[in-house]
Structure 1
């Protein structure tokens, strides 16, 4: 577990996962939801017989209380001790509501042979990651989906071009060979997909499997930017959209039609229409019609001095990013003048 300096940001964000034995997850669901809602926490937590996964945000005191409740509270006991937990901050609440969901898996692979509680690859600390992935005998694989890879990835990493994690099994079958690929290193956003992916590769006979402990988020928080081998920004599943080194909010935004993350180049594309379309969904007229109607209702709500449902967090986050970019630009101009 680690915590970032608060940097005067009012919201604390906690990402957590752990593969643990939770056969009573259905009983835990309402208790956990009540605890979070009572503290004004928002976000999503997934409970499954194999463990917990999710990201939530709230005040500093509320998130600290939740972390304590999960690590040694009466409902979970000691089962979540050692969970992978990452803290960051946000200028605005990045979620709209609190959800605690029950699912068969905390990260869906649909491969029963992949059981991180029984077998998992070798963890590699962020400070040791560069040395590993620069070796010529190591195959480096990004286990995330294509839209995440598009925002940023490690140099030399292979992109499986998957739309969902379940497709990773097909990629392994067609592109990786345990007889040829003796050493495979993998990474993902926070580490959870890699734990399952590494367990899956071991079940298929791969000899040495490595994965980045804490994922890209831990790497960006730990490794100095001038030593980084990660190019771009890391996609996150909330209204921040992406983060960069130090886990500061990135420049990416979301297409409100298809939910694809957008870079500055995407937003400069002639096919981009704010709130309605982007280069990734330019041919999907059905999505455009729905997004155009939503944008119309948002514009009408703003004209009336209100906010369209679901618009508060997204618009506030956009304004906060614009403000930070303006402040950074002003600071650079002052430095030039001095």
Structure 2
């Protein structure tokens, strides 16, 4: 990868300049979108790439979360509508060549509103998504089949007629995500983390013949791209399919089809101020834990959206009250380091009398 030179101005000054640009945009016109790509980077390239993204995307008033690692890039962002064309040009002419001209197109959400993130953060991670496995045991270059939404719809719609059995369709998201929306016939594991999803996937597929087609889906595609590579390279399955762009892309496609009924029911859970985007009008279930719970001096609570976010939205906020962060800007304390596994958090919620997310039904 050839990272372009970037400004050497102080990070604080850049942050102030970017904030002033963001405030000049109408927060109600932001469009939420995503893109990702697994691609090998060296560690020395990451800091320069991080600064370049902060500088260049900040010029467009973009906010959101971008994770980069030696595995590639994963971005969930919100862009002022008037800058979408500039962002697409930047993706095509600047970012795409860095990824061997194979970076996916911008995956635009199905619902918007006020901007769904407060600020722009680009963070360097060890992995884009933590799988709990030894990375030497699988090959991310062994990517699964990426079906277009139209191909995905056709394959799932006709599979039982053609093969005399239902497809193996795995939801690679956490259980609280699948509780508000899922594809008909999907296996929805009781997973709290991506590692749990990988464990469940391996258990589901353990005794299947290796020529069995496997279908899987997630929000935008990145979790399935990695999971599919693991199944094909580590478990030696011949064919794993995912829907290109995930539920988001499928939802956008099916909304444009007058003669197609959606195979996905309910809402697509999103990790931003929207807390989900509608695919169909069906309301499957709600999950809205509220109030603060103290766990070893740490507050775990739901909080109203930040400035310029939709006031009716909520987001999960986890942190220590009154304790200054002593980490460098490239290092953040992850919730799991403070609180332990998600199951332990839920136990504390239960002790405090809070409503817990309902257990999913395996379909």
Q: Structure 1 251/61 Cα, relative in aligned 2: closer, same or farther at 3 Å? A: farther
Secondary structure in 1 aligned to 2:307? helix
Deviation for aligned residue 1:56: 1.0
Could you tell me which runs of 5 or more consecutive residues in structure 2 were left unpaired when the two chains were aligned: 1-27, 315-363
8 Å Cα contact 2:31-2:80 kept in structure 1 = yes
Does residue 11 (structure 1) correspond to residue 40 (structure 2)? The answer is no
RMSD of Structure 2 on Structure 1 (CA): 3.4
For 1:140, the equivalent position in structure 2 comes to 169
Aligned 1:158-307 pairs, distance under 5 A: 158-177=187-206, 179-180=208-209, 182-203=212-233, 204-223=235-254, 224=257, 226-245=260-279, 263-264=285-286, 275-276=290-291, 290=299
1:85 is aligned, of 87, 106, 121, to 106
For 2:307, the equivalent position in structure 1 comes to 312
Does residue 103 (structure 1) correspond to residue 133 (structure 2)? The answer is no
Higher relative helix content: 1
| Residues 311-335 of structure 1, C-alpha deviations (whole Å, 9 max, x = no match) | 334453549xxxxxxxxxxxxxxxx
For 1:149, the equivalent position in structure 2 comes to 178
| Residues 19-60 of structure 1, C-alpha deviations (whole Å, 9 max, x = no match) | 123321222111111222233211111111221111111212
TM-score, structure 2 normalization: 0.65
8 Å Cα contact 1:137-1:183 kept in structure 2 = no
8 Å Cα contact 2:268-2:279 kept in structure 1 = no
2:53 is aligned, of 12, 32, 41, to 32
Deviation for aligned residue 1:137: 5.2
For 2:4, the equivalent position in structure 1 comes to none
Q: Following superposition, which runs of at least 4 residues in structure 1 exceed 6 angstroms of deviation?
A: none
8 Å Cα contact 1:25-1:102 kept in structure 2 = yes
TM-score, structure 1 normalization: 0.70
Query: Quick one: distance in 1 between partners of 2:176 and 2:166?
Result: 28
Deviation for aligned residue 1:186: 0.6
8 Å Cα contact 2:183-2:263 kept in structure 1 = yes
For 1:125, the equivalent position in structure 2 comes to 148
Deviation for aligned residue 1:123: 1.9
For 2:333, the equivalent position in structure 1 comes to none
Could you tell me which runs of 5 or more consecutive residues in structure 1 were left unpaired when the two chains were aligned: 1-8, 253-261, 278-283, 299-309, 320-338
Q: Structure 1 151/109 Cα, relative in aligned 2: closer, same or farther at 3 Å? A: same
Q: Structure 1 56/169 Cα, relative in aligned 2: closer, same or farther at 3 Å? A: closer
Deviation for aligned residue 1:75: 9.9
Equivalent pairs counted in the alignment come to 272
Query: Quick one: distance in 2 between partners of 1:244 and 1:75?
Result: 30
Does residue 64 (structure 1) correspond to residue 79 (structure 2)? The answer is no
Shifted more, 203-212 versus 62-71: the winner is: 62-71
